[in-house]
């Protein structure tokens, strides 16, 4: 796996009592949804990228000789809880990321304060012509220990139906692949003395919350980020059949809300859609999931109204009146 990632990095040079219901929204507070217009009909064509054919045997040999240390580095990340929804271990994990970047020789390795969980910025100056932006997320989902064959933050190698596996929360999504990526960087630096590209890292601890404050991390380094030549999301994984997948980027999901009117009821439905792609990258279909969020949406509206109005008089709070 580290070999694949190492080659990928080298290739970068080439390329929510009784509640008072809220009143109707005044006309002047009607939300106007944004519209987006595409300014180009250009589509990304994978066929224009030549196959990477270089070989780096000295780097591969270094990886083979240091597999135990590389596994230990991945386990160290996985054994540090970093549950963003519960604010468990977040500060410690952010500092671990920062220290690891510093240890790899990043000239800049900084904690980036945000209105939520901190980000991490790193910059490796290789003196190269090309610069690669690497997105990292260091947070994970909550866990129910009873659901696990092995404790979720023990990060132990266990015998599984698929063979010997490293089982932990974050082993696949997303800390395992990311620390493996850093292992690959370490290997290249150890053998070649530097990297073939400059690296900018923007890491966040709120991806599992929807990345509400990630823009603040980007804003802090916006001008420098604009100078980069490409961006990478190191999401390498291994399929049950042993095949290694190296996903260089993701397009996300289509997310929208549908309101259905019927009789005297208004229903709110949220839908998510994700593409189904074939081995050649062609679109084979779409998976659509619908959720009835009528109750949740109503509660959210009530909470918003109560937060902005006096509970006795129903008048707008002074603070919110001043805001408008």
Per-residue pLDDT, 30: 62
Per-residue pLDDT, 323: 46
The mean-pLDDT minimum among 82-86, 170-174, 255-259 falls in 255-259
Q: Is the pTM of this model over 0.85?
A: no
Per-residue pLDDT, 11: 42
Residue 5 above 60 pLDDT? no
Backbone region of residue 215 per phi and psi (left: phi > 0; alpha: psi in -120 to 50; beta: other values):
alpha
For the chain, the average pLDDT equals 83
Q: Which helix (DSSP H) or strand (DSSP E) does residue 61 occupy?
A: helix 57-65
For 53-100, the pLDDT digits (tens) are 999 999 999 999 999 999 999 999 999 999 999 999 999 999 999 999
Per-residue pLDDT, 295: 76
Which residue ranges form the domains of the chain, and what is each CATH number?
2-15+17-250 (3.40.630.10)
How much is the average pLDDT of 29-48? 71
Residue 55 DSSP label: -
How much is the average pLDDT of 277-293? 72
| Residues 203/188, Cβ–Cβ less than 8 Å | no
Per-residue pLDDT, 84: 94
Per-residue pLDDT, 318: 56
Q: How confident is the model at residue 17 (pLDDT cuts 50, 70, 90)?
A: very low
Residue whose structure tokens are 């707008």? 316
For 121-131, the pLDDT digits (tens) are 999 999 999 99
């Amino acid at each position: 796996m580290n070999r694949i990632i190492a080659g990928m990095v080298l290739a970068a040079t080439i390329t929510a009592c009784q509640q008072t219901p809220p009143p109707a929204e005044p006309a002047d507070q009607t939300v106007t949804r944004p519209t987006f217009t595409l300014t180009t009909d250009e589509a990304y064509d994978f066929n224009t990228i030549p196959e990477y054919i270089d070989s780096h045997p000295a780097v591969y040999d270094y990886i083979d000789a240091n597999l135990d240390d590389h596994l230990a580095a991945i386990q160290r990340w996985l054994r540090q809880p970093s549950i963003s929804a519960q604010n468990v271990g977040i500060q410690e994990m952010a500092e671990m990321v920062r220290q690891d970047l510093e240890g790899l020789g990043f000239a800049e390795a900084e904690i980036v304060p945000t209105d939520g969980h901190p980000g991490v910025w790193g910059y490796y100056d290789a003196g190269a012509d090309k610069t690669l932006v690497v997105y990292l997320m260091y947070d994970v989902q909550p866990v129910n220990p009873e659901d696990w064959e092995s404790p979720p933050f023990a990060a132990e190698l266990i015998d599984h139906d698929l063979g010997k596996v490293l089982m932990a929360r974050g082993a696949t999504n997303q800390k395992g692949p990311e620390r493996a990526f850093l292992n690959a960087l370490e290997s290249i630096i150890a053998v070649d003395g530097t990297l073939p590209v400059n690296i900018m890292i923007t890491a966040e601890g709120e991806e599992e919350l929807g990345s509400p404050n990630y823009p603040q991390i980007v804003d802090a380094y916006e001008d420098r980020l604009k100078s980069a030549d490409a961006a990478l999301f190191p999401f390498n994984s291994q399929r049950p059949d042993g095949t290694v997948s190296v996903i260089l980027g993701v397009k996300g999901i289509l997310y929208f809300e549908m309101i259905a009117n019927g009789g005297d009821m208004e229903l709110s439905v949220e839908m998510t859609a994700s593409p189904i792609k074939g081995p050649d990258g062609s679109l084979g279909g779409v998976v659509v999931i619908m959720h009835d969020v009528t109750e949740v949406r109503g509660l959210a509206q009530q909470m918003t109204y109560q937060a902005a109005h006096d509970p006795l008089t129903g008048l707008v709070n002074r603070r919110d009146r001043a805001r408008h």
